[in-house]
Amino acid sequence: MLTRIDHVGIAVASLEEAIPRYEAAFGLKVAHQETNEAQGVREAMLLVHHGDTGGSYVQLLEPVRPDTPVGKFLAKKGPGIHHIAYGVADIDAALAALTVTGFDLVNKTPVHGTSGSRIAFMHPKGLGGVLTELVEAAEGH
């Protein structure tokens, strides 16, 4: 079902401060930046590797307000790894299969993600405490 690690989501207080640290440490470059109001984040995608099944990224996340998933996480735990995201070829099929096996889905149907992707979150409690995202990349990404 999974085609790659699409990204690791990291909660930060400030994109302006975090981006240069990641660029300096690993020579990464920002491939894309956007604000996703529905998810309550400003985000920067830094490309790690591009393979046959698509790209793998570091996703830096800054909350747009305190009352958002990443805002609440930062207030509770401070900056750090927020979620892992796996690539899937067909997110509708993946969600249908996970529903049959009884997994706790935060999103039962896909929502809008980075760069026109379709995404869905799975609750951390069923997956070793790790908030998990599935990503079906848009055509050409």
| Of 111, 105, 109, 106, residue with least CA distance to 92 | 109
Please state the closest distance from residue 49 (CB atom) to ligand CMX, in A: 19
- For ligand CMX, the closer CB: 36 or 53: 36
By CB neighbour count within 10 A (0-12 exposed, 13-18 middle, 19+ buried), where does 111 fall? middle
Say whether 61 sits in a helix, a strand or coil. Answer: strand
Q: Alpha carbon 116 to chain centroid distance? A: 13
> Out of ligand CMX, Co ion, none, which partner does residue 22 contact, by CB within 5 to 8 A per kind?
none
CB 81 within 8 A of CB 10: yes
Catalytic residues: 7, 43, 59, 83, 133
> Out of Co ion, ligand CMX, none, which partner does residue 72 contact, by CB within 5 to 8 A per kind?
ligand CMX
Say whether 19 sits in a helix, a strand or coil. Answer: helix
By CB neighbour count within 10 A (0-12 exposed, 13-18 middle, 19+ buried), where does 114 fall? buried
Please state the closest distance from residue 25 (CB atom) to ligand CMX, in A: 21
Please state the closest distance from residue 73 (CB atom) to ligand CMX, in A: 5
Q: Which of residues 71-90 bind Co ion (CB under 5 A)?
A: 85
Site string for Co ion, 7-26 (x = CB under 5 A): --x-----------------
Q: Locate tokens 């440490």: which residue?
A: 25
Please state the closest distance from residue 77 (CB atom) to ligand CMX, in A: 7
- For ligand CMX, the closer CB: 27 or 66: 66
Residues lying near Co ion in the complex (CB under 5 A) are found at: 9, 59, 85, 133
